[in-house]
Structure 1
Amino acid sequence: MDDFISGKPSQKSSDNLSPQVWNFVSAPALHPMKVTLNVNKPGTAPGLIFVAPYTAYGSTMIGQTGALIMDQTGNPVWFRPLDSRYIQNTDFRVQFYEGEPVLAMWQGTISGTQSANPNLPAEDPEPGAYFQIMNQNYKVIKRLTAKKGFTSDVHEFIITKRNTALFTAVKQVPADLTPYGGPADGYFDNYSIQEVDLKTGQLLFFWDVLAHVDPADSMIPASSATSSNNIWDCYHVNSVEEGPNNTLLISMRNMWAIYNIDKKTGNIIWQLGGKQSDFTFGPNATFSWQHDARHRPGNRISLFDDACCACPSCPPEGPARGLILQLDFQNMTANLDRTYYHDPTLYVPSQGNVQKLPNGNQFVGWGQEPYVSEYTNAGNNEEDPSLNFLYDMQFPGQNLSYRAFKNKWVGLPLYPPSIAAELFCKAAVVYASWNGSTETAAWQVLAGPTPYRLSVVITSTPRTGFETKIDVNSDGPYFQVNALNSYGQVIGTSRIIRARQFH
């Protein structure tokens, strides 16, 4: 992220009354943000949208922070709010653990969200952060923290096919920064790549960035440490991915570089970009302040090219874009393969990602700018950004999500559906919802004069959005709902409630 605009926090309970926030009668504790669809054309990939909304210090948080799954129309499917706007989730998505689909995410406080003068560089995790994994019942089955005195980092948490966790972690290392033009009593904001066995918690792999990458190659001046408690954010590691032949692909934003390392020796095999690049770049192929470096088939690399404003004195290099590069290892060149620009053009100071979807489409989270977009594989260019631009979702205000994903997901909550009912003379309105249930297709309503004498008054009415409002020709006053799947089978039953009487 960047150096956030400072100001006064403005999280008030009244924010939940905003028209840009969902309010549910049957689920009164949930207040996810409402989104706007700017573009929604045919051809998008199937799936649900995964984001983790939060905002910078001094900006109004619209709705609650937390982990949010939406359908493509913007309706919430599952929302897990956090206790405070000063706690966030990041990297929220579907992964696989022991062959089963799970939800994985980071949780903690991101520096730059809690104070005008944070104690750590912007986007660093505050101590106490952790990673967590939830099963399809939304039950936390694993919680994990970084080893060797490092803090679990916001940027990356991957479950490998070996059922290990591969992640980034950060630690402040005391150092005399005067050789680099920084303070004598300074610190390196050092990163590590760690791999941990999820069953035993054993540390299997550890790569110390400071031991392998010269901080002098940073694009952030060491003098900037004086504005962040003498901590120099020289590297800013923001993605790691396994590659072929026991390698790791690592992105370092503040180096403007992507590194391919040998996991066995720890040696850097090649560097793409930055001051020590092993590749020369073709026209329009250079990148800066990048995020989310990923292998693509055919010696290609995808990344989110922020190209902007990662320090107060850093002017934009250009508009943000999803970028796919073709690497030529014989001639050591990197040429432009595809680009994905937003319409209208965005300048994005931090965060962002590019996800390849199963049908070949590309899904782009715009990081600090409040948008999520989908493109056909062919992409577009800066001159014609509407080309192949299929879908665009906008968050309210200055809400943002570090990354955004589109995944297929089946949610099977074990807790019961939620119900509320209001009685008006001889008729009632029943509100039904089931946070996280992807399989509920319709609702059945039961009513009766006592909790023990209920009968079906509505056999089946289609589910609409997160909460379904159902007009019932019954004076109850006791009501209950059953969730029905697409076959009409009961898959969940709410508690029995007495309706609130309105005259």
Structure 2
Amino acid sequence: MVVPSPLYFSRPDIVHPHLSIRHAIPSPLDHHSFIFVAPISALDNDTDAQQQSGPLILDRQGDLIWCGAAEVGSVSSTTTFDLCEWEGDPALCLFRGQKRSAVGYGQGVVLDRHYQEIAVIDADDGPIDLHEFRTSPSGTVLFTTYRPWPYDLGLDHGVGWVLDSGFGEIDLRQRGRSASFTWNALTHFNISESAIPLRSYPEIFGSGRSHRDAFDFFHINSVDKDDHGNYLISARHTDSVYLISGKDGTVLWQLGGKNSWFHGPGAEFRRQHHARYRSGNGSHTLITLFDNTSDGYSLIGSESRGVEISLNHYTMAATVQRQFTAFQPGGLLAHGMGSLQMGSNGEAMACFGSNATITIFDRNNQAMLDASFDDRFLLYRASVHSWSGSPRRPPNVWAYARTPHSAIHVYVSWNGASGVEFWNFYVADEPGSYRLAGTKQRTGFETNFTCDINAGQASLVIAEAVGYDGARRNSSPSSPFMPPENLASQCGEAHCFTQSTFNYRLRSSSSTTLRGPESPVQGGCAKSSLPGLRLRLAQAMAAGLFLMLVYMIGRRYWTTQRRYQDGNCNITY
């Protein structure tokens, strides 16, 4: 089912997927924590979904806080997106680059709390992969890499190719930012360790017959560090999690797969993602991972889950401490992607990757929130954090009045601002003579306010954001837009757009048709009651040309004035 994107009059350039909330229990954390996701298109030929892909910060009601969509289509994509740390301050880390099949080739990007780009990280010997890019409190960056190498696969046409995956760490405190540690799977493992038989589904896992179709025998998809400087990695195609020595790269232990060092329920997972170190001592280690138990091709499981696993280094027993399955009856089976985040307060978030579904659990494993994007999208990971975003740009305002005698309707938003409590609205006949027209609590990404003043009494409007901490920030002045007199009768009191107009806006750049209501939305254009087919057709054509003109002018304005305002937020053309 396709869910139409939210429509913002103050920011018509922002288009993003809608997060549908199926289940929610109010929590004291609702106003202090935010959801970090980066939806990506499920289909390579779905241009509309590609244009909506990119990093998003949402509140726990599903309303947008920040749209930071990276460049889309065949140029680049964003998968990994999360809160991180940069020089002791909270920051945003994301992968930005090209996606080819199941791996990526690009850069790691770090943004500060003002959404300004403060670092771009490259690997020494090639591009960074999409599966992992994150900073550490010790001032380093962890990332994954993929490289094809010649390898004797026993093929009838000679030497074959293997896709070798690995990881690296860069010490940001060192001059030149060269890698302080690198590791690759082929140095330590034979391809016989793979759970994927060679030549099985070559279109998915690679046939090994060329460097562009190398056999992906290992498939690293996460990297983390323990308290002793060792690396915890997940290899999806060996069904294993490994602890790698931070000194010489040797394998310290293996959990799962053909040669697991541990036994028990905690070692029984398949095609997993997102292994994370939680804590440890000399006798025990606590980790988490997302158990897909399926890849959709060579292995079909029953139900995906997030698991917290305790490892006993004396008995070599692996036990499941906590388990998180989907809120929906019967669970969900995520053939790809997925994550599990554990909070210090006992709260957990499970992301059911290819189902684009997230669920937040409390410390008693009760589902507090369950939500999803529509089936045009996938989610590689998701997380929930507190965040204080403070954009450099001022708030955006669009004001409208149907006639000079009509009330002024004001629409205001501030992309990236996480702490706005309410808005003050001011009007003036001329600059410098502003007076308060009213106050309204923030209602989602865009707040709509109706002034008790008509357009003939005020030519300028300003919105002032007031934060929970009392901080204030004004928008730039905006003059109310009024349609031409001959078309005003066809416009509503609140605005002059219909759902079909916005659907046209989206369809004009895509072959994908949004299935949304085609009738006028509340406050939009009303159907003409004048008789005569010719008159109605003429009015419809005039209204269509007028609305298209408004759209073209608005699109050009936002393209030229706001194109780089929001971390390369996608423009809808």
With normalisation by structure 1, the TM-score equals 0.86
Runs of 4 or more off by more than 3 Å in structure 1?
A: 42-46, 58-63, 181-185
Structure 2 vs 1, CA of residues 130 and 331 (structure 1 numbering), >3 Å: closer, same or farther? same
Cα distance between partner residues in 2 of 1:215 and 1:132: 33
| Higher helix fraction (1 or 2) | 2
Per the TM alignment, residue 174 of structure 1 is displaced from its structure 2 partner at its CA by 2.3
2:317 to 333, 352, 377: 333
Could you say what secondary structure the match of 1:254 adopts? helix
2:38 to 45, 52, 58: 52
Cα distance between partner residues in 2 of 1:174 and 1:470: 64
Residue 500 of structure 1 is matched in structure 2 by 481
Instruction: Show CA shifts across 1:250-304 (max 9, x none).
Output: 110001001111110111111111112111224x750000011112335222110
Residue 195 of structure 2 is matched in structure 1 by 219
What is the root-mean-square deviation of aligned Cα atoms in Å? 2.1
Per the TM alignment, residue 197 of structure 1 is displaced from its structure 2 partner at its CA by 2.4
Cα distance between partner residues in 2 of 1:137 and 1:20: 29
Residue 394 of structure 1 is matched in structure 2 by 372
Mark the structure with the bigger radius of gyration.
2
Could you say what secondary structure the match of 1:391 adopts? strand
Could you say what secondary structure the match of 1:177 adopts? strand
Instruction: Show CA shifts across 1:80-99 (max 9, x none).
Output: 12332443212211111111
1:27 to 3, 8, 11: 11
Residues 1:261 and 2:274 aligned together: no
Structure 2 vs 1, CA of residues 320 and 44 (structure 1 numbering), >3 Å: closer, same or farther? farther
Residues 1:75 and 2:63 aligned together: yes
Residue 95 of structure 1 is matched in structure 2 by 84
Residue 448 of structure 1 is matched in structure 2 by 428
Cα distance between partner residues in 1 of 2:299 and 2:469: 57
Per the TM alignment, residue 322 of structure 1 is displaced from its structure 2 partner at its CA by 0.5
Cα distance between partner residues in 2 of 1:169 and 1:25: 42
Cα distance between partner residues in 1 of 2:426 and 2:368: 42
Contact map agreement 1:25 1:420 (CA 8 A) in 2 = yes
Contact map agreement 1:445 1:459 (CA 8 A) in 2 = yes
AA in 1 matched with 2:8: F
Structure 2 vs 1, CA of residues 84 and 454 (structure 1 numbering), >3 Å: closer, same or farther? farther
Per the TM alignment, residue 185 of structure 1 is displaced from its structure 2 partner at its CA by 4.4
Residues 1:355 and 2:341 aligned together: yes
Residue 232 of structure 2 is matched in structure 1 by 249
Residue 400 of structure 2 is matched in structure 1 by 422
Cα distance between partner residues in 2 of 1:83 and 1:483: 29
With normalisation by structure 2, the TM-score equals 0.76
AA in 1 matched with 2:478: I
Instruction: Show CA shifts across 1:165-191 (max 9, x none).
Output: 11111111122321xx68634321112
Contact map agreement 2:420 2:442 (CA 8 A) in 1 = yes
Contact map agreement 1:175 1:184 (CA 8 A) in 2 = no
Contact map agreement 2:424 2:466 (CA 8 A) in 1 = yes
Residue 557 of structure 2 is matched in structure 1 by none
Structure 2 vs 1, CA of residues 405 and 448 (structure 1 numbering), >3 Å: closer, same or farther? same
Structure 2 vs 1, CA of residues 454 and 420 (structure 1 numbering), >3 Å: closer, same or farther? farther
Structure 2 vs 1, CA of residues 177 and 422 (structure 1 numbering), >3 Å: closer, same or farther? same
Residues 1:235 and 2:218 aligned together: yes
Which ranges in structure 2 are unaligned for 5 or more consecutive residues? 207-211, 489-573
Matched length: 459
2:170 to 196, 201, 205: 196
Q: Percent identity?
A: 27
Residue 114 of structure 1 is matched in structure 2 by none
Cα distance between partner residues in 2 of 1:455 and 1:301: 58
Could you say what secondary structure the match of 1:274 adopts? coil
Instruction: Show CA shifts across 1:356-394 (max 9, x none).
Output: 123201111111112000113344xxxxxxxx2221011
Which ranges in structure 1 are unaligned for 5 or more consecutive residues? 1-14, 112-121, 380-387
Contact map agreement 1:243 1:249 (CA 8 A) in 2 = yes
Residues 1:292 and 2:274 aligned together: yes
Residue 304 of structure 1 is matched in structure 2 by 290
